[in-house]
Amino acid sequence: MNKIILALDVCDFKKAEKLVKETSSYIDVYKVGPILFLWSGKEIVKMIKDSGKEVFLDLKFHDIPATVKRSVESAKELGVFSLTVHSAGGEEMLKAAAAVENRPRIWAVTVLTSQITVPQEVIKRAKLAKTCGIDGVISSPLEIGLIKKECGKEFNVITPGIRPAKTDDDQKRVSTPEVAVKEGADFIVIGRPILEAVNPAEAAKSIYGSIIKN
Ligand SMILES: O=C(O)c1cc(=O)[nH]c(=O)n1[C@@H]1O[C@H](COP(=O)(O)O)[C@@H](O)[C@H]1O
């Protein structure tokens, strides 16, 4: 499975379908977050799966343990590959999510890449997630090495905040795809650098080319 996850942050089924068709040579996992899921949740998951691809359901569950447990069970019924919870939900919530049998992979958001933080806060949350039986964390590319060192190589690290070229937007803790992969990211999550490119397929191809060289 290749390491690029394309964030389908669009609010139109047809647009999402076109993006999946155009980029399928370079992407195996597509991220569906609230923007798209609220428009056409189940249909979009089906379309991606029917295209032979995997779905990363990024709804960042953060609620009381019983609600999160049932949300994970619902995501399991959808047949997604992975989903997110927020580590700030705490130990009991994380354990309730992890305890669901035969569930998708669960990744916990540590500190959003749009926020400035100290690495110690990210590590604290990553360690908590690991202790609770969560499979990995979402963090910025700047913390990959530290998380792998503290939580072990098997613990997944998924990094948004990926910028092939410098941009001026809401992402604060960023790196290039090459650096993130070199640092040990299991997956890199990319949205706008592909979605807003003049030619999304070419942008995906170029990022793919840059990481398979490593
Ligand atoms: O959970 C996420 O995927 C996520 C966590 C985080 O800390 N930062 C972050 O940017 N994301 C998501 O990753 C994607 C990044 O998109 P771009 O900034 O357009 O490349 C968006 O869909 C965000 O919702």
pLDDT in tens, the chain (214 residues): 899 999 999 999 999 999 999 999 999 999 999 999 999 999 999 999 999 999 999 999 999 999 999 999 999 999 999 999 999 999 999 999 999 999 999 999 999 999 999 999 999 999 999 999 999 999 999 999 999 999 999 999 999 999 999 899 999 999 999 999 999 999 999 999 999 999 999 999 999 999 986 5
Buried b (16+ CB within 10 A) or exposed e, 13-42: eeebbebbebbbebbbbbbbbebbbeebee
pLDDT for the residue 214: 57
* 186 annotated ligand-binding residue: no
Which residue puts its alpha carbon closest to atom 8 of ligand 1? 113
Which residue puts its alpha carbon closest to atom 5 of ligand 1? 112
pLDDT for the residue 11: 94
* 192 annotated ligand-binding residue: yes
**Which residues have C-beta atoms less than 6 Å from ligand 1?**
7, 9, 33, 58, 84, 109, 112-113, 138, 160-161, 171, 189-193
Instruction: End-to-end CA distance of the chain: give it in Å, rounded.
Output: 15
- CATH superfamily name and code, 4-212: Aldolase class I (3.20.20.70)
Domain boundaries, the chain: 4-212
Query: Ligand 1 atom closest to Cα of 162?
Result: 20
Question: pTM, whole model, 2 decimals?
Answer: 0.97
Query: Ligand 1 atom closest to Cα of 115?
Result: 7
Catalytic residues: 58, 60, 63
